[in-house]
């Protein structure tokens, strides 16, 4: 079960002032407003942080760990939209529509997350144009990624989709080069294919010298060749 914590990582919202580009735009009174009803929760790997269809009452900021945002399907075939980075503002399209979650967020690793009350968050957005612009920019980048992802999923073959996903993960999420914590099932849900198909494509990439898989980590061996597969797949 998730547990409430309050340790040195998040003493208060001022603690994130120098860690988050968004929070660096806030003054002391705005930080205090966000901190007033803030809750910090720890999640174990695999636990749901928020669920599609539930009320959107808080903005969630993962300050430690990795999460994935995905759309749930009645047939059990989920579609992963993106992975979160630390200090991303996670809420979704429902923030200004009907305050409902239209996707789910799951902990990929053990995570520490802060929950910011939605009305306090909106109040700070309205009072601070620079913070509002930063939030819109961050959210717009996510929407742009989703557009690009759906273009890939509908226009490219399985090899092209897998190559695009590996390049996305290494350039945006795992910048040290090695893809960690992402299971073959996750790669299948990121590329809209079955697990069996994902395993087969990964095997082909490995045999062709594009990647290596060591201790459940994926490393790119031939970046240019993988980019060509992504481009022409």
CB 63 within 8 A of CB 87: yes
* Residue ranges matching CATH 2.60.120.10 in the chain: 3-146
Report pTM. 0.88
pLDDT surpasses 90 at 200: yes
Instruction: Find out whether 168 and 228 touch, Cβ atoms under 8 Å.
Output: no
Q: 156-232 domain in CATH 1.10.10.10?
A: yes
* Percentage of the residues of the chain whose pLDDT score is greater than 70: 92
Give how far the C-alpha of residue 161 lies from the chain's centroid of Cα atoms, to the nearest Å: 18
Q: Which fold has domain 3-146?
A: Jelly Rolls (2.60.120)
Residues 6 or more apart from 167 whose CB is under 8 A from it? Answer: 226, 227, 230
Residues 40 and 6 sit within 8 Å (Cβ to Cβ): yes
| Residues above pLDDT 90, as percent of the chain | 74
Mean pLDDT value of segment 157-178: 91
Q: How far apart are CA 50 and CA 90, in angstroms?
A: 10
CA distance 79 to 74: 12
Cα gap 20→194, rounded to integer Å: 37
**Whether the predicted pLDDT of 12 surpasses 70:** no
Q: What Cα–Cα distance (Å) separates residue 140 from each residue in 62, 93, 184?
A: 19, 11, 29
Residue 81 main-chain phi, psi, to 5 deg: -85, -45
Judge contact between 49 and 61, C-beta under 8 A: no
Q: Decide which of 222 and 20 is more confident.
A: 222
C-alpha triplet 204, 205, 210: angle, nearest 5°:
150
Confidence band (pLDDT; 50, 70, 90) for 77? confident
CA dihedral 42, 184, 156, 229 (to 10 degrees): 110
pLDDT of 3 above 50: no
Q: Which of 30-34, 215-219, 226-230 has the highest mean pLDDT?
A: 226-230
How far, in whole angstroms, is CA 31 from its chain's centroid?
A: 24
Q: CA angle at residue 97 from 49 to 139, to 5 degrees?
A: 65
**What is the mean pLDDT of the segment spanning 76-102?**
91
Average pLDDT over every residue of 153-162: 95
Range list for CATH 1.10.10.10 in the chain: 156-232
Inter-residue contact 56 to 101 (CB < 8 Å): yes
């Amino acid at each position: 079960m998730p547990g409430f914590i309050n340790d040195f990582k998040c003493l208060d919202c001022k603690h994130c002032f120098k860690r988050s580009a968004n929070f660096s735009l806030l003054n002391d009174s705005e930080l205090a407003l966000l901190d007033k009803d803030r809750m910090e929760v720890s999640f174990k790997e695999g636990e749901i942080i928020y669920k599609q269809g539930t009320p959107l009452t808080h903005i969630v900021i993962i300050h430690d760990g990795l999460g994935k945002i995905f759309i749930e399907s009645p047939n059990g075939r989920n579609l992963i939209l993106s992975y979160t980075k630390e200090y991303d503002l996670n809420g979704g399209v429902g923030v200004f529509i009907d305050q409902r979650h239209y996707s789910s967020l799951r902990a990929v690793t053990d995570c520490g997350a802060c929950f910011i009350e939605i009305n306090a968050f909106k109040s700070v957005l309205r009072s601070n144009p620079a913070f509002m612009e930063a939030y819109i920019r961050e959210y717009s980048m996510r929407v742009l990624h989703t557009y690009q992802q759906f273009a890939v999923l509908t226009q490219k073959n399985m090899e092209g989709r897998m190559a695009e996903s590996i390049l996305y993960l290494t350039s945006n999420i795992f910048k040290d080069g090695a893809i960690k914590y992402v299971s073959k099932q996750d790669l299948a849900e990121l590329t809209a294919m079955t697990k069996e198909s994902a395993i087969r494509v990964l095997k082909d990439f490995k045999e062709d010298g594009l990647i290596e898989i060591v201790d459940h980590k994926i490393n790119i061996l031939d970046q240019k060749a993988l980019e060509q597969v992504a481009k022409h797949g």
